[in-house]
């Protein structure tokens, strides 16, 4: 008998549809997950951008915060006008997707040392006050989920690298997810993805190949371990 698993939520954010490394790593993970009988819910925040927050989002958020942690239904009941309704309608489906997933796979390129704006727009929207806290018990709802973040960067940011201190992609997501109560979080980074394109990276072909091989085998290992 095949056991159907709760869905994996797979979010991609690379603007590159042809050669994206984070998309390739994510696909590897998702295919392995499907092969094990799991289902996948997919969201591409580059192809279908999440609209930036508007004033009504902040207004509704403040009203909710004053009351404490509320259920999603109770939040909806606090909506006061059409602008707030629009903001909540844009937000609720994204929050629900995360809450319903057993595991979350995030494909994240490094853009200007951090995460892409399209991905940050998704983060901002799902982070509505109390969205991932049980209003009755206070339990953090992300604590029960596995998060896998597949990062891709053009250069190298590992310990001792000249650009180590410029790394705000993985470190940002580590801080964010930990603050939200997610403690089963694994990062897989493929580095030096622009070797061959950027002359400053000439000579680093072996490092690039090793990083690619390690990232790919780690992704497969994780998909098997988590499913
Ligand atoms: C807008 C933009 C900004 C980038 N900024 C950086 C950067 O700050 N550091 C870096 O190492 N690579 C940077 N890159 C290179 C990407 O991180 C690299 O191409 C990576 O593979 C992108 O992920 P993807 O292959 O999934 O699209 C940048 C690329 C783009 C398009």
In a domain, 190, yes or no: yes
How many A from CA of 201 to the centre of ligand 1? 13
CB 147 within 8 A of CB 108: no
In a domain, 3, yes or no: no
In a domain, 12, yes or no: yes
In a domain, 183, yes or no: yes
In a domain, 156, yes or no: yes
Determine the average pLDDT of the residues in 53-60. Answer: 98
Count structural domains, the chain. Answer: 1
Encode pLDDT of 140-198 as tens digits.
999 999 999 999 999 999 999 999 999 999 999 999 999 999 999 999 999 999 999 99
CA distances from 143 to 99, 123, 138, 164 (A): 11, 17, 12, 29
How many A from CA of 118 to the centre of ligand 1? 14
In a domain, 2, yes or no: no
Q: What residues have CB less than 8 Å from 159, skipping those under 6 apart? A: none
CATH code of the domain in which 140 resides = 3.40.50.360
Name residues contacting ligand 1 (CB within 6 A).
Answer: 14, 16, 20-23, 109-113, 152-155, 193-194
Q: How far from chain centre, in Å, is Cα 87?
A: 21
Nearest to 133 by CA among 205, 69, 204: 69
Nearest to 106 by CA among 157, 141, 151, 145: 151
In a domain, 29, yes or no: yes
Encode pLDDT of 75-131 as tens digits.
999 999 999 999 999 999 999 999 999 999 999 999 999 999 999 999 999 999 999
What is the number of the ligand 1 atom nearest to the C-alpha of 190? Answer: 21
Domain limits for position 97: 8-226
How many A from CA of 90 to the centre of ligand 1? 28
Encode pLDDT of 97-108 as tens digits.
999 999 999 999
How many A from CA of 22 to the centre of ligand 1? 10
Nearest CA to ligand 1 atom 28: 111
């Amino acid at each position: 008998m095949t056991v159907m698993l709760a869905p994996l939520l797979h979010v991609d954010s690379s603007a590159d549809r042809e050669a994206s490394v984070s998309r390739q790593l994510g696909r590897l993970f998702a295919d392995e997950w499907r092969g094990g009988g799991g289902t996948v819910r997919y969201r591409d925040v580059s192809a279908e951008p999440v609209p930036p927050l508007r004033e009504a989002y902040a207004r509704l958020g403040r009203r909710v915060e004053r009351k404490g942690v509320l259920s999603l239904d109770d939040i909806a009941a606090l909506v006061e006008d059409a602008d707030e309704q629009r903001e909540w309608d844009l937000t609720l489906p994204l929050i629900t997707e995360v809450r319903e997933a057993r595991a979350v796979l995030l494909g994240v390129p490094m853009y200007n040392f951090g995460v892409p704006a399209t991905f940050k727009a998704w983060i901002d929207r799902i982070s509505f006050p109390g969205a991932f806290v049980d209003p009755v018990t206070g339990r953090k709802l992300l604590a029960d989920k596995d998060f896998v973040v597949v990062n891709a960067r053009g250069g190298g940011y590992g310990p001792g690298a000249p650009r180590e201190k410029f790394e705000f992609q993985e470190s940002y997501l580590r801080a964010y997810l930990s603050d939200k109560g997610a403690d089963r979080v694994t990062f897989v980074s493929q580095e030096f993805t622009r070797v061959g394109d950027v002359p400053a990276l000439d000579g680093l072909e072996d490092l690039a190949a090793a990083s690619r091989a390690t990232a790919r085998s780690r992704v497969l290992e994780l998909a098997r371990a988590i499913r």
